[in-house]
Amino acid sequence: MGGGTYRCFSHPERLAIGKCNDCGESFCGDCLHVYKLSTEGARAILYLCPKCLRKRYVEKAVGLIYFGVIFLLFGVFAALVSIPIGVLIALIGVGSMIYGSMKREETLGELTIAELQAEKEKRKVELATVKEIDLEEIYSELLTQYVNRWGTQTGIELLESEIMAYTRHGVSFQEAVKKVYQRQIKKPT
């Protein structure tokens, strides 16, 4: 960031932690959103301010609306040849336009840097909790859950196959049990 101290464009009382990849302004962790961009097989992570992220959402939605208008017009002309096909194409166009309009009003779904850091801290706490629990206790609890849910034979086989999936990738049996347990903790009930 250079030699000077940068302040958040939206919150001047806060220090900036990065710049928006689109507008170049400096923002704090509560303002910068992590945007995963995928184009033609290439992937990139961009950091965008709320205004630029909203602009990208709107651009995608407008593209859907244009697509819908083209299909609607094509459907009208196709109806001159075949009414059922023309109506079907026109309905696809109308559906695309409605979907694009809904996407324009959609709330920002990307997490901010501050939210990602909070998630990371939460996972650290969960992992520390798992490390404090006895391995036999974890395995016994998992086995009870699996047997209660899928029956004795199937429950044992499922638990063992999940543990084996981790050990095949070089993870020790103890760590594999902990990973399966962590995944079970995160599942909504």
Per-residue pLDDT of 55-109, as tens digits, reads: 888 888 898 899 999 999 999 989 889 999 999 999 999 999 998 888 887 766 7
Domain boundaries, the chain: 51-104, 129-184
pLDDT at res. 133: 64
DSSP state of 15: B
Q: What is the pTM of this model?
A: 0.55
- 77-78-83 Cα angle (round to 5): 115
pLDDT digits (tens, 9 = 90+) for 179-188: 888 887 666 5
Interatomic CA distance for residues 154 and 54, integer angstroms: 48
| Residue closest to 180 by CA, chosen among 141, 150, 148 | 141
Burial pattern 125-160, b for ≥16 Cβ within 10 A else e, equals eeeeebeeeeeeebbeebeeebbeeeeeeebeeebe
pLDDT digits (tens, 9 = 90+) for 107-117: 667 777 888 88
End-to-end CA distance of the chain: 45
Average pLDDT, rounded, for the chain: 84
Give me the pLDDT at residue 70, please: 94
Write out pLDDT tens, residues 14-42. Answer: 888 889 999 999 998 888 888 888 777 78
Q: Given this model, what pLDDT does residue 139 score?
A: 86
